Amino acid sequence: MKIGVVGCAGRMGQMLVREIAATAGCTLAGGTERVGGPALGKDLGVLAGLDPLGVTAIDDPVALFAEADAVIDFTSPDATERHAALAAQSETVLVVGTTGLNPSQQAAIAAAATHTAIIQSPNMSLGVNLLLALVEQVAHTLGDDFDIDILEMHHRRKVDAPSGTALGLGHAAAAGRGVKLEDVWQKVRDGHTGARPRGEIGFATLRGGDVIGDHTVIFASEGERIELTHKASGRQIYAKGAVRAALWAQDKTPGLYTMRDVLGL
């Protein structure tokens, strides 16, 4: 399977290049960078700290989507929306790890998925997706006798809050209770807030240092508390999951899939 990477010179892009190069059953189709970027024309292997791979960075995503069987995207919401349209036109598998998309951008991805297979997840790691399944199950079992809060911490450079993974955990908890997250979430607490409403799902966000990603879902009731936690110690887990998703999707019909589909959860 020929897999391309958009944003190939970035930190995540380099990890994806290394993972594709090391994974049986796939080959690197190419990679793109922004127009005028310093990585253009450079070998993707060299950019990723490997021996030369014979593929250079370009600034034309149309050419990349035409060449690739699948493209992996951990870029920005605006760029991902454009890439989804290209994936639909070329019927190329698209793996989306971008977070912070607004409703219009998410609708564009869903529309593109009527033409090709798109795998989208707020977090590509095996552990986090297992956690998502567990959170939904625990929330369903406990009901709203237990308060739910989601605590997350990331490095100081992260630009969206709460994290996409935290929101994904919130959606899992809400699904377990049979409600829409948007109807019950509380993203900010400040000042005299009064008593906590029954059924509320709260979020707390921490930013600092070089933390890759820590997420804890707290189920608290009178006399007991359950905490489910995932801590990422390296970003390569996201690259491994994304490449696994691309390989899984190569024979799938058009549709919007998640990592839980990929992992059979």
So which residues are the catalytic ones?
154, 158
**102 marked among binding-site residues:** no
**194 marked among binding-site residues:** no
Paired residues of 31 in beta bridges: 5, 57
**122 marked among binding-site residues:** yes
**165 marked among binding-site residues:** yes
Is residue 194 exposed (0-12), middle (13-18) or buried (19+ Cβ within 10 Å)? Answer: exposed
- The DSSP symbol for 186 reads E
**155 marked among binding-site residues:** yes
**9 marked among binding-site residues:** yes
**11 marked among binding-site residues:** yes
Distance CA 79, CA 218 (A): 34
Paired residues of 49 in beta bridges: none
Cβ-proximal residues to 157 (8 Å cutoff; 6+ apart), any chain: none
**99 marked among binding-site residues:** yes
- The DSSP symbol for 58 reads E
Distance CA 186, CA 198 (A): 12
**121 marked among binding-site residues:** yes
Distance CA 108, CA 12 (A): 23
Annotated binding residues for NAD(+), written as ranges, equal 7-12, 51, 97-99, 121-124
Annotated binding residues, written as ranges, equal 7-12, 51, 97-99, 121-124, 155, 164-165
Annotated binding residues for (S)-2,3,4,5-tetrahydrodipicolinate, written as ranges, equal 155, 164-165
